[in-house]
Chains A and B, each alone.
Chain A
């Protein structure tokens, strides 16, 4: 499968989405990422029984924090797919990229530039 997906995505591999914590989402955005999304296995199909469900809860918490501090909760998202489902992976990548493009760049970039000036 030579599927193409947006090249502006940097993939961070984790053994299970249950490894992803709120702080990882926040740090990524703090460092300038425009959005962060977590791609986990389908719900009910976690090898470690509920890693992907934990991830979803953490994403929700991160969204809540991001909304509260004016960065935008939408910049963090959770997706689920089967590890064999390459086309879906590409589809989500496009969807997320479109969503972030619509929202515009991470507001912190502009704020940093302003502060430097």
Chain B
């Protein structure tokens, strides 16, 4: 396969390497160091870094500006974009803005409902949905056109990604939904955090049965638990998250001071197992406010050093 964009992530995947991505949440303030420090910790261990877009609807420094900071550091960013806060004018405008800084990866998302965040009384937009955002970026890139039909001078060159949650309900449409995203034009997928490996493997198998793994690069999402409390919280409070009881038990089974280490162990073991799953083309390591642990996870999982592609 040849690449369609200058994206390093695309190149690594096309070359057949297991890709490693991670993510950083921008700060609730304007200090660029909050991003650059996190990025510095992990830059040598990942191929690209996602910058979240006001995740859980909590107002933060914008994803685009944070991506520009990464770009200035010579790190490849993935711009996360939710359709919750912007209409089609603003979405297209921000895509062009990102393209003007040669940001080459985009992740198209719906976004959590604003009631989870710091502005539950605010409006939401949802002018288009995540499926349609994928189509929009592809239209802008491949046909060099705006949604309105006008031509774009210097169209964006973006490798188009989306999320997939194999654990959300109803399960039976999880694979059809992936197929739908592929039909919309998605090129890579980062999945929801995987704790229920059996269920993930089933999803992956059903996807492979339809040949979907050959049409899209699937990066398996993992998040290390910092504590048993976090495991319980993720299990009970985070919508669309599937944390099996035995994982919670395993975390609770070790003394508090050893829980963080156990969380990393579980994460590394998961990656080891997922590496063997057909269709898994890389990993997306979401170490929430725990970026310093990413290098250790990558190294212990045998994913280091990262391929040198320039």
Q: Do chains A and B touch in the complex (CB under 8 A)?
A: no
